[in-house]
Amino acid sequence: MDDDTDTATFTLDEARGLVSSQPFCRWWGLTVVDVGDGTATVALASAPHLLRPGGVLHGASYEVVADLAMWLAIMTRVGSEPMAVTIEMKTSFLRGTSGDITGTARLLKLGRRIAFGQAEVFDANGDLVAHSTLSYIRPTV
């Protein structure tokens, strides 16, 4: 991975504490599974309010998992930086599911202002259900 920033310490406990403190994340039923150097894995528990007609998870569910995982992956490299925000996201929806999903993001490029990465979202059977590329902007220091 190309980067302009040293590896920071951002632990699994810190990630879980940050996510569990956010009402938005609690409403979605999001939990942090793991964080590593430039990676993060997030889970979403399926719930009736997240299903669209036809009984499948709404597409936004896939995207919120990918987006949160990428945000956390960035923090594994720069430390807690809650102001980094998404500036572009492209998601390919590959199949529908009605069950729980898990997404893993990987940071591919970290610059002084822009971070770029990808995320894969899987259903409970381990089948790929969505793929996203994401760009974030980091606040000026």
Q: Write the pLDDT tens digit of every residue in 9-26.
A: 889 999 999 999 999 999
The pLDDT of residue 81: 65
Burial category of 113 from C-beta neighbours within 10 Å (exposed 0-12, middle 13-18, buried 19 and up): exposed
pLDDT < 70 positions in the chain = 1-8, 81-82, 141
Supply the pLDDT for residue 9. Answer: 80
Tell me, what's the pLDDT at 44?
Answer: 98
74 phi-psi bin (left φ>0, alpha ψ -120 to 50, beta other):
alpha
**Range of the structural domain that residue 59 is part of:** 2-137
* CA 10/CA 67 separation, integer angstroms: 17
Q: How many domains does the chain have?
A: 1
Q: What is the CA radius of gyration of the chain?
A: 14
Residue 123's domain is classified under what CATH number? Answer: 3.10.129.10
Question: What local confidence, expressed as pLDDT, does residue 7 receive?
Answer: 59
- Report the predicted TM-score, pTM, of the whole model to 2 decimal places: 0.91
Phi, psi dihedral angles at 113 (to 5 degrees): -120, -30
Distance separating alpha carbons of residues 106 and 103, to the nearest angstrom: 10
In this structure, are strands 30-36 and 2-3 parallel, antiparallel, or unpaired? unpaired
